[in-house]
Amino acid sequence: MATVRVDVSGVVQGFGLQQRQMPFAAATALTRLARLAREAETAEIVRAFDNPVPFTRSAVGTTSASKTLLESSVFVKDRQARYLRTEVEGGQRELKTFEKLFGKGIALPGTGAKLNQYGNLTRATIKRIAAELNSSGKARRYFMGKPRGHILPEAIYARVDGNSKIVPLLVFTTRAQYEKRLRFSEVAELTARANFEREMLQAWQQALATAR
């Protein structure tokens, strides 16, 4: 995923005789910029998605700058990047862990699925379905495939109403093409440009006040 950098080498060189304090000020400013960008990216995630889960809300991390490495960064953590990449770049998303477990492609909630507050099947429900699908019992509540005698899609179904009806829980599809909707690079760059001068000035004043 994208990386956003701010080059401060020219700023450091421009402070002449006071340059000894400049690396500390620059490192402080860059670290603060990364944290501001993280806050902005988190707000962007909330804007882009309908009630994202806490795991997705905490997707953005930062690295701090130091006096010897005047560079900080804001990034999406590896685990969240697996499914957020297509939201940033567009294209076909990869299979989620539980979808690989079922081996039928991309899974979408069916009309019979009871979703949590974030619009997903709970992990406990998925584990329960997987456990029963892999069992050998004849009176299983869940089954996977295309029901006989019905014009219904490939899915995981639940038997309900005393085994008199079936409802789809997860419907499978082979492709899911995503449009870009998470403005990761744009948000980071705008945040850096809007706040760099202020953070740099404040960090410089701090450096001079604490200089020995």
Query: Is residue 15's pLDDT more than 60?
Result: no
Domain assignment present for residue 164? The answer is yes
DSSP characters over 86-112: HHHH-EEPPPPHHHHHHTSSEEEE-TT
User: Do residue 22 and residue 49 come from a single domain?
Assistant: yes
What does DSSP say about strands 106-109 and 165-173: parallel, antiparallel, or unpaired? Answer: antiparallel
Domain assignment present for residue 54? The answer is yes
3 state DSSP class of 210: helix
Domain assignment present for residue 1? The answer is no
Query: Is residue 38's pLDDT more than 60?
Result: yes
pLDDT at 9: 58
Range of the domain at 167: 97-173
User: Do residue 120 and residue 158 come from a single domain?
Assistant: yes
If one compares 104 and 188, the residue with the highest pLDDT of the two is 188
Domain assignment present for residue 4? The answer is no
User: Do residue 138 and residue 185 come from a single domain?
Assistant: no
Strands lying side by side in the sheet with 106-109: 106-109, 165-173, 155-160, 142-145
If one compares 148 and 45, the residue with the highest pLDDT of the two is 45
Mean local confidence (pLDDT), 7-36: 75
User: Do residue 60 and residue 165 come from a single domain?
Assistant: no
Domain count, the chain: 2
Domain assignment present for residue 65? The answer is yes
pLDDT at 17: 44
User: Do residue 77 and residue 49 come from a single domain?
Assistant: yes
What pLDDT, in 10s, does the model give residues 183-207? 999 999 999 889 988 998 899 888 8
The candidate with the shortest Cα–Cα distance to 98, out of 76, 53, 119, 128, is 128
Domain assignment present for residue 111? The answer is yes
Tokens of 94: 């990869």
User: Do residue 23 and residue 77 come from a single domain?
Assistant: yes
Rounded to an integer, what distance in angstroms lies between the CA atom of residue 106 and that of residue 179? 16
User: Do residue 167 and residue 184 come from a single domain?
Assistant: no
Domain assignment present for residue 169? The answer is yes
User: Do residue 156 and residue 199 come from a single domain?
Assistant: no
Are 115 and 128 in contact, with CB atoms under 8 Å apart?
Answer: no
User: Do residue 169 and residue 183 come from a single domain?
Assistant: no
How far, in Å, are 144, 152, 153 from residue 149 at the CA level?
15, 9, 12
| Residues near 70 by beta carbon (within 8 Å), at least 6 away in sequence | 8, 9, 12, 23, 26, 27, 30
User: Do residue 56 and residue 122 come from a single domain?
Assistant: no
Domain assignment present for residue 3? The answer is no
Query: Is residue 58's pLDDT more than 90?
Result: yes
What pLDDT, in 10s, does the model give residues 59-86? 999 999 998 888 899 999 998 988 888 8
